[in-house]
A and B are shown apart, each in its own frame.
Chain A
């Protein structure tokens, strides 16, 4: 069931009528039943996977919470991690690895009867798996007490507003909210409704309109000129932002109406002045999850662990054998030699080395989290590289600008421009169907062939989308800088005007047809 479908409108209307009519246990049961119904509407068979995951983590979490024996706690934690990652790897990555391995064997002249399986990717598996894992890990770390009520836990895992595309809400933030009695609160309803409407504006009016142009660009990149493709790449950057942050806004808004507070998932990421800031503003729930459950356990910016080296060597070896890009050995050896050299330069340099390594591993896994394709992995590699380059060069870069006495607003503008440009470059690989397509786009853009307005097709869509992007940026800046949303929601006259305005804009600019949200596939 998509948020932007008629059936969801019916579903949510009935749900809210019942939600505020009951409380206590019936309300909890209603939430759980509605969540399972919402997910089962897509494919009821995969409900069993959610139920299984719920049962395993509820049991394991309870057992970890009930014992102080470090050995048993660790073993139980591994059961949870292996079970969750096992589901994820099987459904999401099995065919990818088998397929890549088969290609490699064929390339070296060996033939195999290994077959890929006809596996359907369960919607939202990456989201609820990570959510579920955070529960057992937090209990293991003694940051959270095990939940005693399986209904509460099952509702937490399957909570429909954020089940299929996040935000990834951690048990430590979410479970305590179940203890609150959530009476009808008009202020929360208004705030939530405002956020839901804003989310629909982003999805239906902007993301889906941009999709019309972006799909054509990335569908047959060889047929378009450079300006057409540049516009296509920029539009894609905004499409994915509006699609995903639109979903998050709807999810957070619905939860707010129900009485739950979810953390923000996006904070105008394209205004970031460096790449670390970008990751503090983009898909915050995933980046903070990766930071807390992967980057820091690997050693973070302090030291390294066996894990950092293990993952790097594993990635490198798999990439080398599958792609057979043997030339990668040369930069590989150079990087390894530099690491050893750095390691010998004292504790400070050693810590830096591990920081770079840990950053790269985290970003590579972050890339792979999005999907089973080499292009996603490369996207992660690019972002890992950006973060490393930033750490290496930000100091001399800032010093140079200060020496040249470049005004601060120009410095900020340049930084935002660089981050946006580099992010767009990485987005090409994220969206392209293959490396060939991505390189075709990059080659065409860099050649500047057909760099003219007359060579741009679908000019009407371009003008419409450019207008909508401008509108989005103006409103988001106003909301962030002047706390506009609070002011708009407080006074009925402004509230009515702003809500009505959003509906009119959606009616006039929206692209309808229940297009799925991009992040459903992850």
Chain B
């Protein structure tokens, strides 16, 4: 049974057919590259039609008086409510899981492309974690921004080079999918209307010793955002958006976190962490829903933040 002892000849194709059979390979590679580029081009055209915040940012449709930034908790600064109260134009750069280092990239781009806004409202818990999965998702917008390309190269080297190789890959992201979602509707209304489930509320009673991380690099980015905005003449308001009351009670180091931010930025933080007591105004532990936002925005307005 040995391969050396007895060798039967398996049927194979003839030499001329073999040669011909190679021809499809270069054609295949050519088709793959051409299709990739064509697909990338079409998707870019589709993306450019979106009313999503980052598309607006790079298509000169984001000029505002009040600029908002932060992670998903920054979405609690519900644009329509702030616009109604302030009678000023509002634009949000907040995005789920956005860290202050990534936020800095978009704020730099904003200042490069537009006149400085009068006010920047920044939700400061965006400096509590890196989100290495999110950075590659913004490759969708890499063709528009040098800052973003540099950031991608530094933070997600593989994505940087892979998205140069394949243009389709740039659009393989939740960010692009979200831009598709806002092809017809403006993303101003992006905030959950969900109410926290009974099970989650019950579970929140068991929470104990929850912490918020102090990450020096992200604290530095946060301070850089403040410095950049101030250097352009923008007034900066640092805010902590509300947490679910039970979560807030279990959060033992929020004050230390705030002190650190105040030390790094030289600004006072407006702490609304415990401002909303009604659980029904929350979508989960960290996010108020649209009804909660109405109350929260009202409170900020009364406090003179805008």
Contacts and interface: CB of A to CB of B under 8 A. Distances in A.
A156 to B, nearest CB: 10
B10 A181 contact: yes
Given A185-B10, A460-B178, A178 B3 contact: yes
B178 A223 contact: no
B12 interface: yes
Of A145, A187, A508, chain B has the most CB atoms within 10 Å of the CB of A508
Contacts of A499: 28, 32
Interface in B3-32: 3-13, 17-18, 21-24, 27-28, 31-32
Of A147, A148, A181, chain B has the most CB atoms within 10 Å of the CB of A181
A186 interface: yes
Given A183-B10, A222-B203, A504-B168, 20 more contacts: A25-B4, A148-B2, A180-B9, A181-B7, A184-B12, A185-B11, A185-B13, A186-B21, A222-B199, A223-B200, A224-B197, A454-B194, A460-B178, A492-B24, A496-B24, A496-B31, A500-B32, A500-B35, A507-B166, A508-B39
Nearest to B43: A508
Contacts of B193: 454
A176 B7 contact: no
B169 interface: yes
Of A25, A148, A185, chain B has the most CB atoms within 10 Å of the CB of A185
A508 B12 contact: no
B1 A504 contact: no
A145 B1 contact: yes
Given A152-B3, A507-B168, A500 B31 contact: yes
B136 to A, nearest CB: 8
24 contacts: A24-B3, A24-B7, A151-B2, A152-B3, A179-B1, A180-B7, A181-B7, A181-B8, A183-B10, A184-B12, A187-B13, A223-B203, A450-B197, A454-B194, A460-B177, A460-B178, A495-B28, A496-B24, A497-B31, A499-B28, A499-B32, A504-B168, A508-B39, A510-B172
Nearest to B159: A512
B158 to A, nearest CB: 8
Nearest to A153: B1
B36 A504 contact: yes
B53 to A, nearest CB: 15
B172 A509 contact: yes
Interface string B119-163: 000000000000000000000000000000000000000000010
Interface in B84-114: none
Contacts of B194: 454-455
A32 to B, nearest CB: 11
A303 B243 CA distance: 65
Contacts of A186: 13, 17-18, 21-22
Interface string A483-495: 0000000001001
B181 interface: yes
Interface of A: 24-25, 27-28, 145, 147-149, 151-152, 175-176, 178-187, 190, 222-225, 259, 444, 449-450, 454-455, 460-461, 463-464, 492, 495-497, 499-500, 503-504, 507-510, 512
B171 interface: yes
Of B8, B10, B22, B284, chain A has the most CB atoms within 10 Å of the CB of B10
A28 B3 contact: yes
Nearest to B10: A180
Nearest to A464: B177
A18 to B, nearest CB: 16
B255 interface: no
A65 to B, nearest CB: 12
Given A461-B174, A509-B172, A176 B10 contact: no
B83 to A, nearest CB: 24
Interface string B192-212: 011001111001000000000
Given A180-B10, A223-B203, A503-B32, A149 B174 contact: no
Given A181-B7, A183-B12, A500-B35, A460 B1 contact: no
Nearest to B22: A186
B172 A181 contact: no
B48 to A, nearest CB: 18
